[in-house]
Structure 1
């Protein structure tokens, strides 16, 4: 067989392996973007892995696994396959080493930071890290930072603009913004149904969750929102019957913003909501305004006491950073990125 046909067969085999593969590995330190994407031969960028996944059928679950490292998004990454899947966890972006693994430590958490300029003009010019464009997408065990590009005023690490989509899970993740240098306008901006957030920490984001259109089947559990300088949650008028439990909400300007002239019967359970400037509010022509008439229900919600988080001091990054310390109000609620108790 001459060299031409040998090369052709090699290229065909490589392409076929990519189309049939369902798990792709990414390594910012040791990968190369002309690699096959296997565990032994990872690609180096998330963008390359997402591009390869575009050619997958969607008939089988797709998983992109990230080794430790810093991943900079140069442009918007659109998460989709050829067909719309119906199964849970049909498309997952996750860390190779998860927070509950015995050998996890902060340095093993993949860090994702966008440096992209504005890459979307839907409603207004803004920058998006990941555009969720199919059903049943999950993010697990990742740390998201803000966008340091000075040309960007509004940055959203995760966005789902199609309100007909369903199924978005964010679990055991960090979203850490710094309003003076790398801000996060909204950590998760998602229309549609089935948004579930658990064991996730939002720290210093202008807004943690922005949920407006066709919202249903929403849950926020075992999570921490600290330092949101607009609101922890903006919530549309749909489906007030969501699950909100075992959360710590502190040091925010508003805990909850809703549409003007509405008073849904929200229910908040088993949480600490303390140390915030305002609780319930609505957003009107003059911006955010504190709501004087509310219809929400509180079940075992504590609204006093100090939420004390494990933060960086002179000894560097602690293993439990931004999780509650034992002396914190609500420590027993098990809010934070660990699902299992760490030794």
Structure 2
């Protein structure tokens, strides 16, 4: 696996033509005080983010993560280099992406927080994994787990708090919660425009997506939200979004909209089934049932049992948490693997 990581990183180095804005991280073979090059990787994401903060900000930044476990002992803050000229892409991604040659589930970098509460907003104590405070961010090929700290009740894996921010893409990522061991209150809690969620799987998080302020241009595509025990998607007063090729199943509530707002929602080519409440309303954080019908174009499947490939043997199946051959929705191209299962 390590040799594969080196080969992939070397190919990326050749393609970009420069390692000046690319940082390599390896939790097994890296060191805290390394230079972050292919041959001298850092050991942790926090060290890579700190190193990137010293860059000029005039070129894109990519942080490549080798397979392994990454523990966050505090909030990881991604800040802009220059607030007035915050335009360059900033990417944190797996060195080996799902669908790449040689990829296995064990290739995924696993990000888990063990931090105590690290943020207080409006007298609300909670914990953030990655706090995004810049434009043009991207997260690819990562597996996020919940927080195991016993004092943490509300944990958000990725938060973008400021509504003036724009452009954030999350692709080919797992968000896996366990309410009895490592809960995830919200996988993605984000404000601002241009939020794109593509080919992701959200499994047994309390809430998958919490999106309230200035969320123009949102899209959710080719993704699975399963077993959210509060709400799959909480959404603000906006109608201009793209929703297609998704499987939303066995959640307490599928869509939680804003009370006293009459939007025109369009959901396309998706399976929406097994949810206790389809359309809900946000009444000061409490979900009320919305009597409105789902407005949709394309094909919306509204029935069928979703069966996911879960771990039941000694190895993790390559397509785990994707629909099994006997599952409803297996014809929908949803899941982290883009080129077949």
User: Which residue does 1:220 correspond to in 2?
Assistant: 220
User: Which residue does 2:78 correspond to in 1?
Assistant: 79
SS at match of 1:126: strand
- Cα deviation, residue 298, structure 1: 4.6
User: Which residue does 2:93 correspond to in 1?
Assistant: 94
> In the alignment, is the contact (CA less than 8 A) between 1:267 and 1:299 conserved in 2?
no
- Cα deviation, residue 314, structure 1: 3.0
- Cα deviation, residue 297, structure 1: 3.0
- The Cα offsets for residues 293-321 of structure 1, whole Å up to 9 and x where unpaired, read as 35733531001011121101134321111
- Cα deviation, residue 243, structure 1: 0.3
Q: Which runs of 5+ in 2 are unaligned?
A: 1-18
User: Which residue does 1:202 correspond to in 2?
Assistant: 202
- Cα deviation, residue 326, structure 1: 2.5
Over 3 Å counting, the alpha-carbon distance change for 1:109 and 1:295 in structure 2 is: closer
- Cα deviation, residue 59, structure 1: 1.1
1:122 and 2:121 aligned: yes
Separation in structure 1 between the aligned mates of residue 38 and residue 323 of structure 2, nearest angstrom? 35
Separation in structure 2 between the aligned mates of residue 215 and residue 164 of structure 1, nearest angstrom? 10
Over 3 Å counting, the alpha-carbon distance change for 1:294 and 1:306 in structure 2 is: closer
- Cα deviation, residue 114, structure 1: 0.4
- Cα deviation, residue 235, structure 1: 0.1
SS at match of 1:273: strand
Separation in structure 1 between the aligned mates of residue 285 and residue 159 of structure 2, nearest angstrom? 26
Separation in structure 2 between the aligned mates of residue 286 and residue 156 of structure 1, nearest angstrom? 16
- The Cα offsets for residues 24-59 of structure 1, whole Å up to 9 and x where unpaired, read as 011100100110000110010111111111122221
User: Which residue does 1:211 correspond to in 2?
Assistant: 211
- Cα deviation, residue 331, structure 1: 1.3
Separation in structure 2 between the aligned mates of residue 321 and residue 36 of structure 1, nearest angstrom? 36
| RMSD between superposed Cα atoms in Å | 1.5
Separation in structure 2 between the aligned mates of residue 125 and residue 255 of structure 1, nearest angstrom? 27
Q: How does 1:192-271 map to 2 (within 5 A)?
A: 192-237=192-237, 239-271=238-270
Q: How does 1:22-171 map to 2 (within 5 A)?
A: 22-84=21-83, 87=87, 90-123=89-122, 124-171=124-171
- Cα deviation, residue 157, structure 1: 0.6
> In the alignment, is the contact (CA less than 8 A) between 1:213 and 1:236 conserved in 2?
yes
How many matched pairs?
A: 321
> In the alignment, is the contact (CA less than 8 A) between 1:219 and 1:243 conserved in 2?
yes
Output the TM-score relative to the length of structure 1.
0.90
> In the alignment, is the contact (CA less than 8 A) between 1:57 and 1:81 conserved in 2?
no
Separation in structure 2 between the aligned mates of residue 315 and residue 303 of structure 1, nearest angstrom? 34
Separation in structure 2 between the aligned mates of residue 337 and residue 285 of structure 1, nearest angstrom? 33
> In the alignment, is the contact (CA less than 8 A) between 2:67 and 2:109 conserved in 1?
yes
Over 3 Å counting, the alpha-carbon distance change for 1:281 and 1:33 in structure 2 is: same
- The Cα offsets for residues 178-227 of structure 1, whole Å up to 9 and x where unpaired, read as 00010000100000000000000000100000000111000000000000
User: Which residue does 2:11 correspond to in 1?
Assistant: none
Separation in structure 1 between the aligned mates of residue 185 and residue 199 of structure 2, nearest angstrom? 21
Separation in structure 2 between the aligned mates of residue 122 and residue 201 of structure 1, nearest angstrom? 28
Pick which of 75-84 and 59-68 moved more: 75-84
- Cα deviation, residue 171, structure 1: 0.2
User: Which of structures 1 and 2 has the bigger CA Rg?
Assistant: 1
> In the alignment, is the contact (CA less than 8 A) between 2:225 and 2:247 conserved in 1?
yes
Separation in structure 2 between the aligned mates of residue 295 and residue 176 of structure 1, nearest angstrom? 27
> In the alignment, is the contact (CA less than 8 A) between 1:53 and 1:81 conserved in 2?
no
Pick which of 248-257 and 261-270 moved more: 261-270
SS at match of 2:24: strand
User: Which residue does 2:184 correspond to in 1?
Assistant: 184
SS at match of 1:318: coil
